[in-house]
Structure 1
Amino acid sequence: MHAGTEQLDGIFQALADPTRRAILTRLGGGPTAVGELAKPFDMALPSFMKHIAALEQSGLIRTAKSGRVRTCTLEPSTFALVDGWLNAQRRIWTGRTDRLEAFVTKDSK
């Protein structure tokens, strides 16, 4: 198995949930308190906290508690890991489609 594969598995599993993706989108605007993040979602706070825990376990966010307020922040290094994997996949598939195009157009010249 490739180094980082287990971490990528956890990241993509976390990203598979639309609620978690919405949370990440909101965090794109900057660090936000859990209470503020939870407002638009129609669920009890303990259920919402399971989403926060999944995002934190995957490394997509980090949380910090100050007094009674827990604030969530995006973790850029994890997004860089995903970006690196996606770029590698893009290079592989671009190379394959370039070779296919060359093969298909070779006989038509």
Structure 2
Amino acid sequence: MYLKCLPKRTHFGYDLMVHASILAALDHNNNVNKEQAVYQDGESVDEPKFKIAWSKVHKTFRAKPVMTEKDYSYMTAMMEDVLSSDYDPNQAVDISFNQRHIMAPQ
């Protein structure tokens, strides 16, 4: 998800990288505990889904579980919170983070 928010071929400023990293982390945290998908119809109803993938390391085929689709319901709640907040465009907004600058030495 991080590379979808911040492709490597494009240059971004520091502020944009911080905010896009936060968005990628929110998406990951809200979708990290997805359940395994199950078949809805056919002979194998309610059985877990798997896909077969070739392992280059072990030189064998392996069965990998298929997970359910991502849930984006957290986004509507976040947007409602942002839109319902009292925002004054003339007032300065303080967006400061307690973080160390890992990319550049100080």
TM-score, normalization by structure 1: 0.28
Larger Rg: 2
Structure with more of its chain in helix, by fraction: 1
TM-score, normalization by structure 2: 0.28
Q: Which has the higher contact order (CA 8 A, sep 6+)?
A: 1
